[in-house]
Amino acid sequence: MDCIIRVIRLPSSAGHYREVSMLCFFNLAGATYDPDVVGMEMETIDEARIQAARFLGELIRDKPNLAWAGEEIRVEVTDERQLVLFTVIAFGVDSPASMHEPSAFRSSR
């Protein structure tokens, strides 16, 4: 997962390098598609994972019907070369038990 955009040399005679930030893009895919063209600098891959989960959670909070659109909602996180680093997926699945509920309760989708 090499998505380093800046590298600094640590002050040592061994010439070690360490990552200081990476540029990540949070692309919405699946039931709807919206590529991220700006990106965000992240200090760690864990920080990017948390941001992706928050982004997806906020999207579902604001547009909950997307989870039931018949296709998953994905946040595909890529580096500056558009290599997929990881994906967060959400989707709704009806249980067979919901078919036994009164018709007024069932969805009309």
Distance (Å, whole) CA 104 – CA 109:
13
Q: What is the pLDDT of residue 97?
A: 81
Instruction: Count the Cβ atoms, other than its own, within 10 Å of residue 40.
Output: 16
User: What does residue 42 show for φ and ψ, rounded to 5 degrees?
Assistant: -120, 145
- Residue 36 has a pLDDT of 96
Quickly list DSSP for 90-104: E-----GGGGGS-TT
pLDDT at residue 99, rounded to an integer? 73
At 47-68, the pLDDT tens digits run 999 999 999 999 999 999 888 8
The residue ranges of every structural domain in the chain are 4-10+17-100
Comparison of pLDDT for 38 and 97, the residue scoring more: 38
> Is 18's pLDDT higher than 60?
no
What span, in angstroms and rounded, lies between the C-alpha atoms of 6 and 84? 19
For 77-107, the pLDDT digits (tens) are 999 999 999 999 998 888 888 777 666 665 6
Share the mean pLDDT of the chain: 81
SS3 4: strand
Contact 5, 19 (CB under 8 A): no
